[in-house]
């Protein structure tokens, strides 16, 4: 399978940059999720890759073929790609088998018996064997999505494109289909671009995630890398929940926020530089309000403003003493503390991640 190389891609709508100099390399056989809020350019990027839109600048390459540039665009039907839409786009008057077989009709020299064999095989793969004669209206949302996946895979595309394919499903089906799409990717290893605004979905399905902001890639990496080592304030806030602390470097490994000093996961800070930290709520431990100091650990005091029971955890908001900080803490729901109570906050140095672009 070839990879996809997107180079300095740009596309505007009415003077607004939907895609603004976006560059991205997708390795052969890799599934990359394009993740971001509405208006960040992820669907426009996918439509440019599919050939539905012409770029104003930049190029799109698949392997050694340039498919899009400002001077020429290879039409969608000649790109050896398949796309799965948010709406599934199934033909209601066709049976499941007819929907899945539709793309095979355009493969020259493929006998009818071979088409039927391929349809039967792919329906078994997506666990829809026995549903060949049913119509889309007789299927559940999850089953319809499986038909759309089967229709895309049966033509054996080089590149698979998915545009918010699970957003119309309820929460339980969405979770089930996440694992199903991941299973199918591991079986077929098709180079895939997957658009979503759901961070949980992206983290489960993808090999890597490209977080988009204002038409550009803010950061790309594995789910683990983006969660534990965000580069920017935007990525830190978009991937999971976090506490952001603005301050000034006072040592190569410490920043000050008002009268508070934080030892941080860095030893290269320039004293006097403005710095932003990301501290994940589950990395903060609630301890006794008079907890002793420890080497390499930040110990703060505060009072609980709010406690929200979330089942396995309790989400606390703690007002830090002698500062304007109110931090979120995710603590096990073993012993629930009440608002107004005094607590200590134990924050390891490694949990204070310095943002390169604060």
Q: Which residues are CB-neighbours of 101 under 8 A, at least 6 positions away?
A: 115, 116, 118, 119, 154
Pairing mode, strands 254-257 and 260-263: antiparallel
The pTM of this model reads 0.90
Question: Cα–Cα distances in Å, from 144 out to 103, 115, 186, 265, 356?
Answer: 17, 20, 21, 48, 44
Look at the block and give the residue holding tokens 């073929």. 65
- Cβ burial of 170 (10 Å; 0-12, 13-18, 19+) is exposed
Determine the Cα–Cα distance for residues 123 and 125; give it in Å rounded to an integer. Answer: 5
CB 40 within 8 A of CB 213: yes
- In the chain the domains, ranked by start, together with CATH numbers, are 4-237 (3.40.50.300), 242-354 (2.40.50.100)
Residue stretches of the chain with pLDDT short of 70: 357-358
CA distance 183 to 179: 6
Strand 159-163 and strand 81-84: the pairing is parallel
For 83, the token pair is 């796309």
């Amino acid at each position: 399978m070839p990879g996809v190389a997107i180079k300095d891609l740009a596309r505007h709508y009415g003077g607004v940059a939907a895609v603004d100099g976006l560059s991205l390399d997708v390795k052969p056989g890799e599934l990359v999720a394009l993740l971001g809020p509405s208006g960040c350019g992820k669907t426009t990027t996918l439509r440019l890759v599919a050939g539905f839109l012409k770029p104003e600048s930049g190029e799109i390459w698949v392997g050694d073929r340039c498919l899009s540039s400002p001077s020429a665009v290879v039409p969608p039907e000649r790109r050896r790609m398949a796309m799965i839409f948010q709406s599934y786009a199934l033909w209601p008057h066709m049976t499941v088998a007819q929907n899945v077989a539709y793309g095979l009709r355009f493969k020259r020299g493929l006998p009818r018996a071979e088409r039927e064999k391929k349809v039967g095989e792919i329906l078994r793969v997506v666990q829809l064997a026995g549903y060949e004669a049913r119509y889309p209206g007789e299927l559940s949302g999850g089953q319809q999505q499986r038909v759309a996946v089967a229709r895309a895979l049966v033509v054996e595309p080089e590149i698979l494109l998915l545009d918010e394919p699970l957003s119309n499903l309820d929460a339980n089906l969405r979770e089930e289909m996440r694992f199903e799409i991941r299973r199918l990717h591991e079986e077929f290893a098709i180079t895939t671009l997957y658009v979503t605004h759901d961070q949980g979905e992206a983290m489960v399905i993808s090999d890597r995630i490209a977080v988009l902001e204002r038409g550009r890639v803010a950061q790309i990496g594995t789910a683990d890398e983006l969660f534990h080592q965000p580069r920017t304030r935007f990525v830190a806030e978009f991937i999971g929940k976090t506490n952001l602390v603005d301050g000034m470097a006072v040592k190569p490994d410490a920043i000050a926020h008002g009268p508070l000093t934080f030892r941080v996961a860095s030893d290269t800070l320039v004293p006097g530089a403005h710095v932003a930290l990301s501290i994940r709520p589950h990395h903060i431990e609630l301890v006794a309000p008079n907890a002793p100091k420890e080497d390499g650990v930040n110990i703060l005091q505060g009072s609980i403003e709010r406690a929200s029971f979330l089942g396995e955890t309790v989400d606390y908001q703690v007002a830090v003493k002698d500062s304007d900080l109110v931090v979120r803490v995710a603590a096990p729901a073993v012993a629930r503390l009440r608002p107004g109570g005094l607590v200590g906050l134990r924050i390891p140095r490694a949990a204070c991640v310095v943002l390169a672009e604060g």
